[in-house]
């Protein structure tokens, strides 16, 4: 297992990990699998400011995790929203733990103070992973999404990344 920064060559594999979640679950609220071009643009936009990591095994990406802008307003710039997906055939192999260990290590060099995770309910596996990394529940939004014929709740979790002091002007390490 190799954890490394994502490259443009990984986009197809990353989308192959993500697509089953779109098509077969309510874990993501996305309902249509994006094109390679659209997905490439998303990844490049995130990578331009934040860490975007993949887990590679035998030359194939089987999971990914990234941090991204939390909200648009300027005062939010010191917070990130994180996301993680692991190939459905490779769950319970320590991939999520390895990805998050490396993601949070990478975030130490950024001027980010708080990480947020938004998880659809129910999803005990994801909640358990996040709590293992120090996230705690801050609230639930009820019936916020509609997918696959039902209304879906989401839980928000929060994790302080460093002591809250006066931030510097930059986000990049």
Give the span between the Cα atoms of 64 and 103, in whole angstroms. 10
CB 54 within 8 A of CB 61: yes
pLDDT of 136 over the 80 cut: yes
* DSSP-derived secondary structure letter, 172: -
39-78 pLDDT, tens per residue?
999 999 999 999 999 999 999 999 999 999 999 999 999 9
Range 98-124 average pLDDT: 96
Q: Can you give the pTM of this predicted structure?
A: 0.94
Q: 101 burial class (0-12, 13-18, 19+ CB within 10 angstroms)? A: middle
In the chain the first and final C-alpha atoms are separated, in Å, by 26
pLDDT at residue number 170: 61
CB 11 within 8 A of CB 43: yes
Range 28-37 average pLDDT: 97
pLDDT of 172 over the 60 cut: no
């Amino acid at each position: 297992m190799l954890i490394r920064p994502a490259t443009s060559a990984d986009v197809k594999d990353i989308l192959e990990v993500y697509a089953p979640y779109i098509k077969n679950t309510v874990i993501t609220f996305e309902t249509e699998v994006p094109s390679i071009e659209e997905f490439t643009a998303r990844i490049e936009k995130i990578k331009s400011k934040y860490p975007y990591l993949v887990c590679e095994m035998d030359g194939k990406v089987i999971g990914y995790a990234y941090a991204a802008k939390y909200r648009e307003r300027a005062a939010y710039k010191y917070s990130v929203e994180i996301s993680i997906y692991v190939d459905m055939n490779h769950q319970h192999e320590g991939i999520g733990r390895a990805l998050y260990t490396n993601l949070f290590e990478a975030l130490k060099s950024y001027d980010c103070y708080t990480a947020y995770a938004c998880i659809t309910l129910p999803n005990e596996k994801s909640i358990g992973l996040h709590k293992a990394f120090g996230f705690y529940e801050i609230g639930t939004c009820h019936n916020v999404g509609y997918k696959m014929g039902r209304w879906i709740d989401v839980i928000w979790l929060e994790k302080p990344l460093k002591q809250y002091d006066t931030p510097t002007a930059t986000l990049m390490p």
